[in-house]
Amino acid sequence: MNKTKLTIVQLCQEAATFAQIESAHSESTLYGVNNGKAIGTYIEQKLRAYLEARYSFESGNAAAGIDFPSLQVDIKATDIRQPQSSCPFKSARQKIYGLGYSVLIFVYEKTDHPTTATAHLNFMHTVFVDRSRTADYTMTRLIRQHLDAGCNAEDLIGLMRDKNLPVDDIEASTIAEELLRSPCEQGYLTISNALQWRLQYSRVIEQAGKIDGILKLR
């Protein structure tokens, strides 16, 4: 049977349905599990199986680094108590220009039920963040304010140094010249410097459905 090729629109629609179905499901394999990575892997694998029954798509792999490489979308699952996750560090430019791909975020609340030895994942938020909105909120806000005030390249380089952007002088100068030619978009993730980027999602949860490029799916 020929399956429909998965699109971003269909992915968003199915993500909302999947979250609704999973919110009514009890899972014994997650009982007593508090490891966020293990829960995230469970959600990602179950979503993939759900979609594979209905659509054709390119599966993600370690080389691609994201879950749906043909759509340029990665899946993130996170606990409502601390909505954040890590992602690979590719370049300091990601903090200014975005991750380079869109992010589909499932925010859940987990409850264990001792009487049945099962766990329940209540999906509180399902949010799609377009790649154009995946840069760091504070970094892009300050850059755009500087540009609006008529700054020059040295001002932007100074800002990058003040914010400890992990770039050398040559790269900082290159980025500054690019920004003067073409300002960055306003991002809405919080991206913390580390060996891996640490992404925080509280702002996109708050802004979902209010800002172009941040969709509240459920």
Domain 4-85+99-135+197-216 - what CATH class?
A: alpha beta
Instruction: Give the pLDDT confidence score for residue 195 in this predicted structure.
Output: 60
Mean pLDDT of 111-135: 95
According to DSSP, the residues that pair with 126 across neighbouring strands are 106
Q: Which of 18-22, 33-37, 141-145 has the lowest mean pLDDT?
A: 33-37
Edge to edge, the sheet with strand 84-87 lists 84-87, 197-200, 190-192
Phi, psi (degrees; rounded to nearest 5) at 32:
80, 0
CA–CA distance, 123 with 132 (Å, rounded to integer): 25
The model carries a pTM of 0.91
Domain boundary assignment for the chain = 4-85+99-135+197-216, 137-181
Q: Each residue of 31-74: pLDDT tens digit?
A: 999 888 899 999 999 999 999 999 999 877 655 578 999 999 99
Chain mean pLDDT for the chain: 92
Percent of the chain clearing pLDDT 90 (strictly above): 83
Q: Each residue of 149-171: pLDDT tens digit?
A: 999 999 999 999 999 999 999 99
CA–CA distance, 79 with 39 (Å, rounded to integer): 9
- Tokens standing for residue 81: 């108590």
End-to-end CA distance of the chain: 31
Mean pLDDT of 123-150: 96
Instruction: Give the pLDDT confidence score for residue 87 in this predicted structure.
Output: 87
Instruction: Give the pLDDT confidence score for residue 203 in this predicted structure.
Output: 93
Instruction: Give the pLDDT confidence score for residue 196 in this predicted structure.
Output: 75
Mean pLDDT of 104-114: 95
